[in-house]
């Protein structure tokens, strides 16, 4: 008897759709509670996903929101993987890569000398 509603494991689908490099990485993220399925935490990698489900998870510094369109049969090339989902992510502007832009980060030599003088260390 064939199930009328096709299902696939959430870790397998995330791997098929190329959101994670390995299936075990996808399973770890799901098991840690970092993936939401239709607004609910997916705590088991064996939880089933069907077409129309919405997944929310972090990838790098972005929070990805994707709708499952197709389940797929294999982990194919990137063009094939992009047909498995509809990306609903609201992309935000890139964060400046240089932390010194906000006054943070490692001090340069001039700033280090000034810090040493204020701390009472004589480096000269």
Domain total for the chain?
1
Burial of 104 per CB tally in 10 Å (0-12, 13-18, 19+): exposed
Does the structure show a pLDDT above 60 at 98? no
pLDDT tens-digit profile of 14-72? Answer: 999 999 999 999 999 999 999 999 999 998 999 999 999 999 999 887 899 999 999 99
- Residue 34 has a pLDDT of 93
> The domain containing residue 76 runs over which residues?
8-91
Residue 23: inside a domain, yes or no?
A: yes
Residue 110: inside a domain, yes or no?
A: no
- Residue 1 has a pLDDT of 45
CATH code for position 29: 3.10.290.10
């Amino acid at each position: 008897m064939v199930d009328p509603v096709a299902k696939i494991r959430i870790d397998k689908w995330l791997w098929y759709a190329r959101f994670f490099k390995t299936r075990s990485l996808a399973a770890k993220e799901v098991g840690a509670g970092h993936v939401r399925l239709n607004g609910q935490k997916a705590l088991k990698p064996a939880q089933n996903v069907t077409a129309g489900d919405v997944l929310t998870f972090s990838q790098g510094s972005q929070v990805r929101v994707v709708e499952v369109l197709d389940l797929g049969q294999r982990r194919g090339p990137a063009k094939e993987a992009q047909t498995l989902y509809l990306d609903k992510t609201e992309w935000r502007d890139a964060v400046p890569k240089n932390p010194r832009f906000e006054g943070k980060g490692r001090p340069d030599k001039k700033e280090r000398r000034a810090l040493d003088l204020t701390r009472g260390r004589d480096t000269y």
